[in-house]
Amino acid sequence: GQQVMQIPQYQHVQEGEDFTTYCNSSTTLSNIQWYKQRPGGHPVFLIQLVKSGEVKKQKRLTFQFGEAKKNSSLHITATQTTDVGTYFCAGSPGSARQLTFGSGTQLTVLP
Amino acid sequence: NAGVTQTPKFQVLKTGQSMTLQCAQDMNHNSMYWYRQDPGMGLRLIYYSASEGTTDKGEVPNGYNVSRLNKREFSLRLESAAPSQTSVYFCASRDRADIQYFGAGTRLSVL
């Protein structure tokens, strides 16, 4: 079955440093989504990428979808303590009816 | 709008006991999902319902049953709880833009 791998599993950064998490799928994806889960909370949708090579930005967050549509990344510039949480990618080979989630990257930002 | 509401928030069961996790959404979404979240394993799909009256197995359906009672409600039943079912359970619904909205979760411990 489809597998979505995400690295690193954990990342500790000093406030102000940059952060990147990577997502790789064993199969070509039709789309990829990113979610954020604050400690003790529930996943919240951040963004969806659909096109090969697509790049989207949300303030300090930059999302990329690979040319082969098998990988994606999330980059945060100048992290803040509000960025703390676990970031998940989720993809689907066909319609988004059934998503496969990566294992997540837990980000800790040290003040 | 409440979004996706899950009850209960916490539950402790003894091995062999049964229980039903309730989920309701007020966003008129067709598709609903049940996931479990375990440390280091991300979100794994248990069952989903693409529309009222239909349900399908996900990645980890063994030991669970579901009922799509109506468009709003999608319940998850554990007939005979096992310690391996200790987890955080999330219900979600999906809108037409394929964004998933999650409930606050049910934290279940099986002793």
Nearest CA to B65 among B57, B77, B83? B77
Q: Does A71 touch chain B (CB under 8 A)?
A: no
Q: Note the pLDDT tens digit of each residue in B35-65.
A: 999 987 789 999 999 999 899 999 999 999 9
CB A33 within 8 A of CB A45: yes
pLDDT at B82 exceeding the cut of 90: yes
In angstroms, how far apart are the furthest CA atoms of chain B?
40
Search chain B and give the residue with CA nearest A4: B42
| CA gap B49, A94 in Å, rounded | 17
| CA gap A86, A65 in Å, rounded | 19
Chain A residues touching residue B2 (CB < 8 angstroms): none
Residue B95: pLDDT band (50, 70, 90) is: very high
Q: Do A6 and B42 touch (CB under 8 A)?
A: yes
Q: What is the DSSP letter of A75?
A: E
Q: Do A43 and B59 touch (CB under 8 A)?
A: no
Q: Do B45 and A99 touch (CB under 8 A)?
A: yes
Average of per-residue pLDDT values in chain B: 95
Q: Does B90 touch chain A (CB under 8 A)?
A: yes
> Which B-chain residues 68-87 have CB contacts (< 8 A) with chain A?
none
- Pairing of β B31-37 and β B87-94: antiparallel
Q: What is the pLDDT of residue B9?
A: 97
Locate tokens 């799928």: which residue? A25
Query: What average pLDDT does range A24-36 have in this prediction?
Result: 94
